[in-house]
Amino acid sequence: MEGLKVLLVDDEEEFVSTLAERLRMRGIETGTAGDGEQALKSISEDPPQLVVLDVMMPGLSGLEVLRRVRSEHPHIPVILLTGIGGTREGIEGMRLGAFDYLMKPLAIEDLISRMRAALAASRGGA
Amino acid sequence: MDAKKGLRGIFRRFLDVSDEEPSPARYRALRTDITVLMLLITIIPLCLMALINYHQYQSALKSEIVSPMKALVNKTKHSFELFLAGRLSTVRFVASAYSYEDLADENKLNRIFRVLKQEFRGFVDLGVIDSNGLQVSYAGPYELKGKDYSEQDWFQHLKVSDVYISDVFLGYRRFPHIVIAVKHIEPSSGRSWIVRATIDTGRFDDLIASMGLDPQSDAFLINPQGVLQTNSKFYGKVLDSFPGVVPPLSHESNVIDETDAKGRDVLIAYTYFAQSNFVLMVVKPKAEVLRAWYTLKSELLIVFLISVVVIVGVILRLTRMLVDRLEESDRKRELALREMQHSHKLSSIGRLAAGVAHEVNNPMAVINEKAGLMKDLIEFTQNFPDKEKFLSQVEAIIQAVERCRAITHRLLGFAKRMDVEIEILDLNQVVKETAGFLEKEALYRNIRLELDLAAHLPRIASDRGQLQQVFLNILNNSFAAVDDGGRVGIATWEKDIDTVGVTFIDNGCGMSEETLKHIYEPFYTTKKGAGSGLGLSITYGIVKKLGGDIEVQSKVGQGTRFMVYLPKKPRERSEK
């Protein structure tokens, strides 16, 4: 996973920082953003290879962020994080072009394997 | 007052819409009340009407029968009286037109008698009696001259009265006769004599025959002592005693109800004669006279009874129907109310559950990540003291989080079953989207996911989110059932004009008959510890709510086929 750069977007500070640290421990360069605005800004300044995006956020919603990312940076795959049972949002997100969706709380192994699949798909697609 | 209270009680019971549980006794009481009330308000007027009618008809009919009888009696009485008066005045004329000497002369008397017999029917003899009661002359078939009448009743009677008409008696020839005697007092000399005539009563029979009575009726004369004065058809010969009560004195014609000596119910019309001691009686059997009345009465009775039976039947039936309907609607109302309360409760529980699940979710994620980080730190650090012990603690935290996840999932399952949003959608698209969800998993596990979607499937009106939930639940089950490298197929098809079908087929482990029996029961699961046991129960609930149906066929070791049928248009909301 060397050289992989991802952006974690979630309004839960503790969650996002801890997850980022764990990913970094696994050699994944991980940036964080606390809300949608910040995320969009960060993406345009320093585009990551992949975005992990929480759907339920105050302010700009995850789906809105997803829509913009898909239109502005169509090559960046997005994995959605939803709350338990957020099937509806998840499916909506898939329709908007998210690569996959995961439910919180999640096992880090799952996340990493989905990230791998997403990158493989985007490279293969590109 | 009591009746009023009772009525009010009935109406109160009728209108009682209190929420307390209605007991069967209440409906029984209500039924009785309504039945009694309705019977009262229908039968009482009917009875009154029947009674009034009965009496009116009776009096009308009676007067119709009685009046002619009275008229007949009156007419006949007049004929009798006319006859008697005619004979009386003839005798009186003889008594006063001739002098005593003329009358005492038998030759002259015989001449007068012959003329009388010529002119008037019925004269049998004629005699003259002096003031001492001695027969001075006699014209007739018997040798009565010189007979002394001074001791006889009629002679005594003539001392105080001018005229005497005797009762009927049998003369020597065994013919019924009457005697008419007239006393004459010569004003100039003060001398008195009596002219006595015997008259054959054959004329009476003529008069009675002229009444033209029917064969069942009888007419005759009696005297106030109850002795028949003419032959009677049913009650004996002349001079027999009348076997019955002599009616009370009345010079007006009168009708009485009697039971005669033969036991027949009869109407007797009678009248007393003014000048003589006769009572004319006409006896008609009631059965004959009132036949029309009896027919009418029995018809009246039959109509009345039939009406009563019909009314009672109708009322009983109607009341039963009414109360049953009432009970039914009460029950339905109760049920609807309870269902509404239940669904209200469920929906608030659902909303609460969703809220809790979402709220709990984030801290859970944090705990999960923190524990994960601790685990990472322990694992990545060389020679961590008590590494195994710490790792097992952290693992326990992660396990606990997993359990919380299952719980919140279950809670959200409830929440999901709520509100339906109907839109027009392409079922194939929904299937594709939902399948897309699982494409990744299919990829990892090398499961062939085959879609066989009908090309021109009509669009249906349904709830996208709920359908996705349904398909996802079934697909999750399919994926859980198949081994890696297995096969899962989805097909859409048009079942009939109103219904489309979606089939999910897998070649997984299948289910036993025992499992099939329970798959829709909540909290029933074969995935030990992994499943909530709510997936298919929720699925079933949603499909039913969307107006569809779900079918499952399965064989252990061969696979499972789920068929979901969905209406093209949602059913009327009446069931909600």
B88-106 per-position pLDDT tens digit: 899 999 888 888 888 888 8
* A105 part of contact set with chain B, CB < 8 Å: yes
Whole-number pLDDT of residue B573: 46
Whole-number pLDDT of residue A126: 45
Instruction: Check CB contact under 8 Å for A88 and B468.
Output: yes
In chain B, residues with a C-beta closer than 8 Å to the C-beta of A22 are 369, 372-373, 376
- Residue by residue, DSSP assigns A48-103 as -SEEEEES--SSS-HHHHHHHHHHH-TTS-EEEEE-TTTHHHHHHHHHTT-SEEEE
Residues B182-238: tens digit of each pLDDT: 988 888 888 888 998 988 888 888 888 888 888 888 899 898 888 888 888 888 888
Span of A43-52, B111-120, B219-228, B399-408 with lowest mean pLDDT: B399-408
Query: What is the rounded distance in angstroms from the CA atom of residue B438 to the CA atom of residue B302?
Result: 84
**Mean pLDDT of all residues in chain B?**
82
Whole-number pLDDT of residue A102: 85
Q: How confident is the model at residue B8 (pLDDT cuts 50, 70, 90)?
A: low
Residues A26-47: tens digit of each pLDDT: 889 999 999 889 999 999 998 9
Given a cut of 90, whether residue B175 has pLDDT beyond it is no
Instruction: Check CB contact under 8 Å for A12 and B365.
Output: yes
Instruction: Check CB contact under 8 Å for B433 and A85.
Output: no
Whole-number pLDDT of residue B563: 92
> Which residue type occupies B276?
S
Given a cut of 50, whether residue B61 has pLDDT beyond it is yes
Given a cut of 90, whether residue B451 has pLDDT beyond it is no
Given a cut of 70, whether residue B416 has pLDDT beyond it is no
Whole-number pLDDT of residue B309: 93
Whole-number pLDDT of residue B502: 92
Span of B260-264, B378-382, B387-391 with lowest mean pLDDT: B260-264
Q: Which of B264, B232, B259 is nearest to B244 (CA)?
A: B259
Query: What is the rounded distance in angstroms from the CA atom of residue A7 to the CA atom of residue A34?
Result: 11
Question: Which of A12, A103, A108 has the CB atom closest to B372's CB atom?
Answer: A108
Query: What is the rounded distance in angstroms from the CA atom of residue B44 to the CA atom of residue B39?
Result: 8
Instruction: Check CB contact under 8 Å for A85 and B409.
Output: yes
Low-confidence ranges of chain A (pLDDT < 50): 126
Residues A44-53: tens digit of each pLDDT: 998 999 999 9
Instruction: Check CB contact under 8 Å for B440 and A117.
Output: yes
How far A105 CA lies from chain B's nearest CA (Å)? 4
Whole-number pLDDT of residue B169: 83
Asked whether the CA dihedral A18, A19, A20, A21 is positive or negative, the reply is positive
Rounded to 5 degrees, φ, ψ at B20 are -65, 150
Query: What is the rounded distance in angstroms from the CA atom of residue B340 to the CA atom of residue B367?
Result: 40
Question: Which of B402, B412, B436 has the CB atom closest to A85's CB atom?
Answer: B412
Given a cut of 50, whether residue B483 has pLDDT beyond it is yes
How far A45 CA lies from chain B's nearest CA (Å)? 28
In chain A, residues with a C-beta closer than 8 Å to the C-beta of B437 are 90-91, 94
- Over range B549-574, report the average pLDDT: 82
Q: How confident is the model at residue B176 (pLDDT cuts 50, 70, 90)?
A: confident
Q: Percentage of chain B surpassing pLDDT 90?
A: 7
Query: What is the rounded distance in angstroms from the CA atom of residue B340 to the CA atom of residue B338?
Result: 5
* A59 part of contact set with chain B, CB < 8 Å: no
Residues B134-153: tens digit of each pLDDT: 888 888 888 777 788 888 88
Whole-number pLDDT of residue A78: 92
Q: How confident is the model at residue B576 (pLDDT cuts 50, 70, 90)?
A: very low
Given a cut of 70, whether residue B421 has pLDDT beyond it is no
A-B CB pairs within 8 A amount to 86
* A34 part of contact set with chain B, CB < 8 Å: no
Residues B333-355: tens digit of each pLDDT: 888 887 777 666 656 666 777 77
Q: How confident is the model at residue B133 (pLDDT cuts 50, 70, 90)?
A: confident
Instruction: Check CB contact under 8 Å for B380 and A25.
Output: yes
Instruction: Check CB contact under 8 Å for B440 and A22.
Output: no
pTM of the model: 0.44
CA distances, B359 to each of A26, A86, A88, A106, B331 (Å): 30, 13, 17, 16, 41
Query: What is the rounded distance in angstroms from the CA atom of residue B298 to the CA atom of residue B20?
Result: 52
B→A contacts (Cβ < 8 Å), by residue, are 354, 357-358, 361-362, 364-370, 372-373, 376-377, 380, 401-402, 405, 408-409, 412-413, 415-416, 433-434, 436-437, 440, 443-444, 465, 468-469, 472
Whole-number pLDDT of residue A120: 86
Query: What is the rounded distance in angstroms from the CA atom of residue B156 to the CA atom of residue B162?
Result: 11
Q: Is B199 helix (H, G, I), strand (E, B) or coil?
A: strand
Residue of B nearest to A87 (CA): B469
Instruction: Check residues B422 and B301 and name the one with the higher pLDDT.
Output: B301
Report the alpha-carbon angle B422-B428-B429, nearest 5: 70
Select the residue from A84, A104, A108, A116 to test the B interface by mutation, using most B Cβ atoms within 10 A: A84
Whole-number pLDDT of residue B12: 63
